[in-house]
Amino acid sequence: MEYKICTRCIMDNSSDPLITFDEQGVCCHCKAYDNAIADLPKTAEEKKIQFDKLVNEMKNAGRGKEFDCVLGISGGVDSAYLAYVAHNAGLRILAVHVDAGWNTDIAVDNIKKMCSKLKIELHTIVVDWPTMKELQRAYMFSGLPNIDVPQDHAFLAATIAYARKYNIKYMLNGSNFATEGILPSNYGYSALDFRCIADVYKKCGRGKLSLRKYPKMNLFEYAMVYMAKTRRINLLNYVEYSKTKAIEVLHHEFDWNYYGGKHFESRFTKFFQSYYLPKKFGYDKKRAHISSLIVGGELTREQGLVDMQDYSEYNEVQMLEDRDYILKKLDISLEEWEYIMSTPNKTEDDYRNNKRLVKLLVLAKEALHR
């Protein structure tokens, strides 16, 4: 196969087998990005108008209640900066942090420093480790690309549970088109589908497991509670958002420490996306992250190509250290690891799932939320 790389971003056909290009050599992800941002405000003035409108909506809905909005806070740059922006706009935030056993100390420390200085109420949910461990372990043996599903599902389910408990209508989300506009959908199946999670455990887990202590949510609850009663606001799409500037602000205001690449706040996620995905599937999230920054205007394509070759943030030695740490924590031997890496790759269709319903719900959600 002839190697091809997009002329606008740096997505290529070696990291994404399903990529297509037009006559100008621009890839399908750039096209999808342009479509997705078509309805969003472009200039600083337009953004400001929309931002103020959304903030007022949230304040009105929060009248007489304890909070205006709930925010899932991971310790990453996007959600931390979002908390800062929302706080400055006068919103009363309930911050929810889920600890699924992989958070780096730096990330946890960052969250605490920021929330305490801004007096943001922070609730931390520690997922029962023996349960989390067995689920995560089963995913390691599943042959699926997205083995971060047990963590992602718990994050979402716990945040939604808080929105319901405190009767909060608005959920702030750090998703944004400035830093994450490009991510091929084949890189991983949705974390929404609890039927798939349960079947992965049934086929790849170690015996019976009670999921009583795991924050979970079925699709009916997702539709009835999350989609019908709460509104998700991707507020960062309505400010001039730059990752570099956000890191500077957070560092200056809260003595915030940067821990490296995107999603490196979780040691598992860091290893999963930098080692497991590229080595086993050829998928490269770093390439997608850099491409997002290029189309978002933060990086030039030339600089992106240079950054792509820079491994100083996470080198092979650190990767192997993380591998050994993760394997030990999950009771997986090196022989088993070799089996995991050499066994045939699978997709969600190898497991029971609710794929069609998930697709429908995701489409409906995109239409409902801004």
Binding site for Zn ion (CB under 5 A): 6, 8-9, 11, 27, 30
Shortest distance in whole angstroms from residue 22 CB to Zn ion: 10
CA distance 128 to 299: 40
| Residue 31 beta carbon to Zn ion: minimum distance, rounded to whole angstroms | 8
Return the number of the residue (30 or 156) whose C-beta is nearest Zn ion.
30
> Least distance in Å: CB of 26 to Zn ion?
6
Cα–Cα separations (whole angstroms), residue 29 to 9, 22, 32, 185, 352: 9, 11, 5, 10, 29
Residue with Cβ nearer Zn ion (29 or 267): 29
The residue among 7 and 104 lying less far from Zn ion, judged by its C-beta, is 7
Report the nearest approach of Zn ion to the CB of residue 27 (Å): 3
Whichever of 8 and 243 has its CB closer to Zn ion, that residue is 8
Q: Within 13 Å, how many C-alpha atoms sit on residue 356's CB side?
A: 0
Q: How many CB atoms lie within 10 A of CB 362?
A: 13
Least separation in angstroms between residue 29's CB and Zn ion is 5
User: Across the chain, which distance is largest between two alpha carbons, in Å?
Assistant: 62
CA–CA dist 177, 358 (Å, integer)? 22
> Which value, to the nearest 10 degrees, does the dihedral of the CA atoms of residues 70, 73, 76, 79 take?
10
Structure-block tokens of residue 165: 């408990």
Contact between residue 282 and residue 14 where contact means Cβ atoms under 8 Å apart: yes
CB 18 to Zn ion: min, Å:
13
Position with the least CB separation from Zn ion:
6
Report how far apart the first and last C-alpha atoms of the chain are (Å, whole number): 40
Q: Name the residue nearer to Zn ion (CB basis): 9 or 77.
A: 9
Nearest to 72 by CA among 178, 166, 160: 160
- Please state the closest distance from residue 295 (CB atom) to Zn ion, in A: 7
Q: Specify the residue, 90 or 282, whose C-beta has the smaller distance to Zn ion.
A: 282
Which CB atom, from 30 or from 157, has the smaller least distance to Zn ion? 30
The Cα 253–Cα 80 span in angstroms is 12
Q: Where are the alpha helices (DSSP H) in 141-193?
A: 149-165
